[in-house]
């Protein structure tokens, strides 16, 4: 038990200093995608928080989900989440990733990202500004320091 | 119900799935690439990850609510989508906006064209491994986003279009600020264009990759910069002259090379055209009344009728068909045909005979907008005629 | 060849003519003529002289018909013309254009999956590619007015 807690603490500490993002579009309109892309550019400079886009899902710590989850993308999202190493967290960016947004009543949309994977932080907006996305990430990192985030996907 | 395999896949080929989550692609599309060694033999485009059933949603909601739904077909081109739909409604209702509103609409669409073209050029630089250029272009793109925010109120989705007008007016201060941004941007764009023309890395990766001939472009229904780079002069701004395009001078950019490099150059030239148009609009903004209509006075009953509007989006000709049956508050049918839909579905033949490393380059040079494409559909792909490629012919080098 | 001459090609096949807003010429034709019209367009104008912009299918439940509109853009003037035809709602079948115009692939596959119009001779038609499988397995075509989705 003690050992488990210790391991979790170490894992959280490592992520806190340099979280690597993986971005997955589950059926977004691209609005959130370009804002996620814009928020990794020099004007907003996320590298001061150690934030960096990771080249592969297997290197990622934080999964950024944009867009309403369509039925076809839902099992892809689950599969991607299972492939990430522990501990792992999901950030839902934009109104559609939170609950489906304007598309929630469509026949091919499941709903928000939390219907498929556990979500740690929701960032509202249509689309959220890059500052808001960075703010959400920093809030997640703060919560990690306080160890407030319980669901790291592999307890 | 399976798809008939037309191309024989020899035993030696390797199947390389690219996507839907892949570092080189920012959007969910899956290319199934069959490779013989390094050489691509066949490509299947598998999609459907982004199908949201928007046409059915539009039938379930009212005419005015649909303006918000259609502008979320694609975030990058939200103003053109909304403009095309709103103009279809105006045709059915027989109303026209005043001249100032028309000029402001054009300005918002041209700003969108600038930032979209800059984005895809930046992504292209990243794909070929030139990350510094990517960061530089994205930094300057933020200026355009600022200008767009000043004009429309939001960086990306602003829902700027309304039936018979626009949602906000601009004053002198905002006008000068946008003009200043555009003037500053111009020299930067000229510099980037020169980099794309002269830089050895870019030229080596882009020239002669994914060549499309004139006849192929029209028979496969390619539109936008993809067609214009092959010499096909399609530009609905010039032919339909919607909104204020009949009063604003501009040139249609065409090139004859037809390869990936020509497509990127067409985009740089179009940015320069758009900046000129933006400055012209700001200098000659008419003041014939308030461009913002009173939302409560808009007509509530829609007469029966139908309209088919075209608009030149960043990626090519975008068309909307709207039909009203006059009985309900909802449209009877809304059909959206986005440029990426034609460009991507019909493009599988472009990859054949190139190496695996060229696949992302060709895909990016099409400027794929998966959200646009899949609002309703997408299908697999070897297209009709050209897919019967005997392996012999491939190995002999004849690209037929 | 100027625009009037090109339109003359279509007029020979037309049952009736009208205009779709804003100013698109519309020709109503028999379903069996659609393929012949495109063959004669290719013959007269060549592959570089026009492109098929889109295919719009509409479910007219009250008239028990399905309406198909082919939107064709004539180059270089970019004159948009509409070729309209009606199919019976129970058994909508029409000849495919895919072997003469590869660009028809996108529109035909979409119309099949969402409306159930069968394009005879198109080997790529299949259900359940854009429509999620739980809907397509029930045999529902989402854009039909009685689909209930």
Whether pLDDT at B35 is above 90:
no
CA A51/CA A70 separation, integer angstroms: 28
**C140 interface with B at CB cutoff 8 Å:** no
Taking alpha carbons only, the member of C99, C87, C80 closest to residue C59 is C87
What pLDDT is stored for residue B386 in this prediction?
Answer: 30
Lookup: tokens for A79: 């599969």
CA B91/CA B118 separation, integer angstroms: 33
For an interface test with A, the pick among C114, C128, C132, C141 (most A C-beta atoms closer than 10 Å) comes out as C132
Cβ distance C105 to B385 less than 8 Å, yes or no, reads no
Residue B373: inside a domain, yes or no?
A: yes
CA A37/CA B29 separation, integer angstroms: 18
List phi, psi (to 5°) of B106.
-60, -40
Taking alpha carbons only, the member of A23, A104, A116, A103 closest to residue A61 is A23
Residue B323: inside a domain, yes or no?
A: no
Dihedral sign, CA of C60, C63, C66, C69?
negative
Angle at B24 between CA B22 and CA B28, to 5 degrees: 50
What pLDDT is stored for residue A92 in this prediction?
Answer: 93
What pLDDT is stored for residue B23 in this prediction?
Answer: 57
Residue B225: inside a domain, yes or no?
A: yes
What pLDDT is stored for residue B126 in this prediction?
Answer: 85
Partners of residue C73 in chain B, C-beta under 8 Å:
234, 317
How far does the CA of residue C57 sit from the closest CA of chain A (Å)? 19
Q: How far is CA B49 from CA A89, A96, B21, B30, B300, in A?
A: 22, 15, 11, 9, 36
pTM of the predicted protein model:
0.89
Within 214-243 of B, beta carbons closer than 8 Å to A belong to: none
**CA trace torsion B33, B36, B42, B44 (10° rounding):** -20
* Per-residue pLDDT band at B2 (split at 50, 70, 90): very low
CA B231/CA B229 separation, integer angstroms: 5
**CA trace torsion B199, B204, B205, B209 (10° rounding):** 130
Of all residues in chain A, what percent carry a pLDDT higher than 70? Answer: 93
Q: What is the pLDDT of residues B273-327, one digit of tens each?
A: 999 999 999 999 998 889 999 988 888 889 999 999 999 998 888 999 999 998 8
Contacts made by residues C17-24, CB under 8 angstroms, sequence distance 24+: C20/B306, C20/B307, C20/B308, C20/C82, C21/B91, C21/B92, C21/B305, C21/B306, C21/B307, C21/B308, C22/B91, C22/B307, C22/B309, C24/B308, C24/C71, C24/C80, C24/C81, C24/C82
Cβ distance B218 to C109 less than 8 Å, yes or no, reads no
**A101 interface with B at CB cutoff 8 Å:** yes
Ordered by start, the domain boundaries in chain A are: 20-145
Q: What is the pLDDT of residues B48-77, one digit of tens each?
A: 677 788 888 888 899 999 999 998 888 888
Q: At what angle do helices B172-198 and B131-152 cross, to 10 degrees?
A: 160
What pLDDT is stored for residue C29 in this prediction?
Answer: 92
Cβ distance B54 to A103 less than 8 Å, yes or no, reads yes
* Per-residue pLDDT band at B397 (split at 50, 70, 90): very low
Partners of residue B60 in chain C, C-beta under 8 Å:
none
**C81 interface with B at CB cutoff 8 Å:** no
**Domain total of chain B:** 2
Residue B248: inside a domain, yes or no?
A: yes
Whether pLDDT at B168 is above 60:
yes
- Average pLDDT score, chain B: 83
Partners of residue A37 in chain B, C-beta under 8 Å:
26, 119, 138
Partners of residue A32 in chain B, C-beta under 8 Å:
75
Interface B–C counts its CB contacts (< 8 A) at 147
Examine the domain organization and report whether B122 and B203 are in the same domain: yes
**C73 interface with A at CB cutoff 8 Å:** no
Partners of residue A33 in chain B, C-beta under 8 Å:
26-27, 75
Whether pLDDT at B14 is above 80:
no
CA C131/CA C142 separation, integer angstroms: 8
Whether pLDDT at B1 is above 80:
no
**Residue ranges in chain A modelled with pLDDT below 70:** 1, 7, 150-153, 155
Whether pLDDT at B259 is above 60:
yes
Q: Which CATH number covers residue B291?
A: 1.10.645.10
Q: What is the pLDDT of residues B183-197, one digit of tens each?
A: 999 999 999 999 999
Cβ distance A57 to B142 less than 8 Å, yes or no, reads no
**C15 interface with A at CB cutoff 8 Å:** no
Partners of residue A109 in chain C, C-beta under 8 Å:
none
Taking alpha carbons only, the member of A112, A107, A110 closest to residue A123 is A112
Cβ distance A37 to B73 less than 8 Å, yes or no, reads no
List chains touching A (3+ CB pairs under 8 A): B, C
Partners of residue C133 in chain A, C-beta under 8 Å:
71
Lookup: tokens for A81: 């989440």
Residue B75: inside a domain, yes or no?
A: no
Within 116-135 of C, beta carbons closer than 8 Å to A belong to: 130-135
- Number of neighbours of residue B304 by Cβ within 10 angstroms: 11
Q: How far is CA B304 from CA B91, B258, B335, in A?
A: 11, 44, 16
Q: Residue B33 sits in which domain range? A: 14-50+340-395
Q: What is the pLDDT of residues C37-81, one digit of tens each?
A: 899 888 888 888 888 888 999 999 888 999 999 999 888 888 889
Dihedral sign, CA of A109, A111, A116, A121?
positive
What pLDDT is stored for residue B376 in this prediction?
Answer: 42
Examine the domain organization and report whether B205 and B252 are in the same domain: yes
* HEC sequence for A82-148: HHCCCCCEEEEECHHHHHCHHHCCCCCEEECHHHCCCCCEEECCCCCCHHHHHHHHHHHHHHHHCCC
Cβ distance A126 to B157 less than 8 Å, yes or no, reads yes
Partners of residue B78 in chain A, C-beta under 8 Å:
29, 31
List phi, psi (to 5°) of A62.
-125, 130
List phi, psi (to 5°) of B81.
-60, -50
C103, B346 contact by CB (below 8 A): yes
What pLDDT is stored for residue B12 in this prediction?
Answer: 58
Partners of residue B135 in chain A, C-beta under 8 Å:
41-42
**CA trace torsion B346, B347, B350, B353 (10° rounding):** -80
Residue B256: inside a domain, yes or no?
A: yes
What pLDDT is stored for residue B374 in this prediction?
Answer: 55
Architecture field, domain A20-145: 3-Layer(aba) Sandwich (3.40)
Q: Please tell me which of the candidates B221, B307, B385 has its beta carbon nearest to residue C21.
A: B307
What pLDDT is stored for residue B13 in this prediction?
Answer: 66
Lookup: tokens for A75: 């099992």
Domains and CATH numbers, chain C: 3-101 (3.30.460.80)
Average pLDDT (B69-96) is 90
Final residue of a structural domain among B303, B326, B358:
B303
For an interface test with C, the pick among A27, A70, A72, A103 (most C C-beta atoms closer than 10 Å) comes out as A72
């Amino acid at each position: 038990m003690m050992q488990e807690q210790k391991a979790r603490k170490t894992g959280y500490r490592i992520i806190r200093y340099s979280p690597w993002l993986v971005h997955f579009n589950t059926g977004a309109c691209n609005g959130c995608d370009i804002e996620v892309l814009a928020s990794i550019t020099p004007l907003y400079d996320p590298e001061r928080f150690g934030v960096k886009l990771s080249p592969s899902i297997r290197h990622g710590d934080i999964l950024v989900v944009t867009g309403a989850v369509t039925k076809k993308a839902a099992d892809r999202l689950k599969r991607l989440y299972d492939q990430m190493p522990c501990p792992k967290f999901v950030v839902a960016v934009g109104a559609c990733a939170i609950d489906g947004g304007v598309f929630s009543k469509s026949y091919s949309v499941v709903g928000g990202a939390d219907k498929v994977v556990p979500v740690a932080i929701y960032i509202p907006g249509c689309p959220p500004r890059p500052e808001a996305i960075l703010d959400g990430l920093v809030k997640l990192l703060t919560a990690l320091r306080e160890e407030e985030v319980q669901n790291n996907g592999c307890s | 119900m399976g798809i008939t395999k037309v191309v024989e896949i020899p035993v030696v080929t390797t199947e390389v799935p690219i996507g839907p989550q892949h570092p080189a692609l920012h959007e969910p599309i899956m290319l199934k690439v069959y490779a013989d060694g390094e050489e691509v033999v066949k490509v299947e485009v598998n999609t459907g990850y982004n199908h949201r059933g928007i046409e059915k949603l539009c039938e379930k909601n009212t005419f005015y609510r649909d303006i918000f739904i259609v502008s979320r077909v694609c975030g990058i081109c939200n103003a053109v989508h909304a403009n095309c739909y709103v103009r279809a409604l105006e045709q059915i209702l027989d109303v026209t906006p005043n001249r100032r509103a028309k000029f402001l609409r054009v300005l918002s669409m041209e700003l969108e064209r600038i930032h979209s073209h800059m984005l895809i050029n930046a992504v292209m630089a990243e794909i070929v491994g030139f990350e510094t250029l990517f960061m530089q272009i994205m930094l300057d793109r933020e200026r355009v986003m600022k200008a767009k925010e000043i004009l429309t109120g939001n960086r990306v989705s602003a829902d700027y279009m309304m039936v018979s007008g626009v949602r906000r007016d601009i004053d002198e201060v905002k006008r000068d600020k946008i003009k200043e941004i555009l003037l500053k941007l111009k020299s930067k764009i000229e510099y980037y264009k020169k980099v794309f023309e002269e830089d050895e890395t870019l030229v080596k990766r882009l020239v002669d990759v994914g060549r499309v001939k004139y006849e192929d472009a029209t028979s496969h229904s390619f539109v936008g910069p993809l067609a214009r780079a092959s010499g096909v002069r399609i530009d609905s701004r010039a032919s339909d002259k919607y909104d204020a395009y009949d009063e604003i001078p501009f040139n249609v950019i065409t090139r004859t090379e037809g390869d990936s490099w020509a497509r990127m150059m067409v985009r740089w030239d179009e940015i320069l055209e758009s900046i000129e148009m933006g400055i012209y609009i700001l200098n000659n903004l008419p003041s014939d009344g308030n461009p913002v209509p009173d939302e409560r006075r808009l007509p509530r009953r829609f007469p029966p009728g139908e309209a088919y509007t075209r608009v030149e989006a960043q990626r090519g000709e975008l068309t909307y068909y709207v039909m009203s049956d006059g009985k309900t508050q909802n449209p009877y049918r809304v059909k959206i045909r986005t440029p990426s839909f034609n460009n991507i579905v019909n493009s599988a033949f472009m990859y054949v005979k190139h190496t695996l490393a060229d696949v992302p380059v060709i895909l990016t040079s099409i400027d794929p907008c998966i959200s646009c494409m899949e609002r309703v559909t997408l299908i697999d792909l070897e297209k009709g005629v050209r897919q019967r490629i005997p392996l012999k012919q491939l190995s002999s080098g004849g690209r037929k | 060849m100027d625009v009037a001459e090109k339109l003359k090609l279509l007029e020979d096949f037309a049952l009736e003519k009208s205009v779709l807003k804003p100013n698109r010429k519309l020709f109503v034709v028999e379903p069996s003529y659609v393929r012949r019209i495109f063959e004669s367009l290719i013959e007269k104008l060549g592959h570089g002289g026009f492109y098929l912009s889109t295919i719009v299918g509409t479910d007219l439940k009250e008239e028990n018909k399905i309406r198909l509109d082919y939107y064709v853009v004539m180059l270089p003037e970019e004159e948009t013309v509409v070729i309209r035809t009606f199919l019976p709602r129970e058994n909508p079948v029409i000849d495919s254009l895919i072997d003469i115009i590869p660009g028809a692939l996108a529109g035909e596959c979409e119309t099949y999956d969402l409306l159930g119009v069968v394009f005879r001779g198109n080997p790529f038609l299949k259900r359940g590619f854009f429509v999620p499988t739980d809907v397509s397995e029930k045999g529902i075509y989402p854009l039909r007015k009685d689909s209930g989705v």
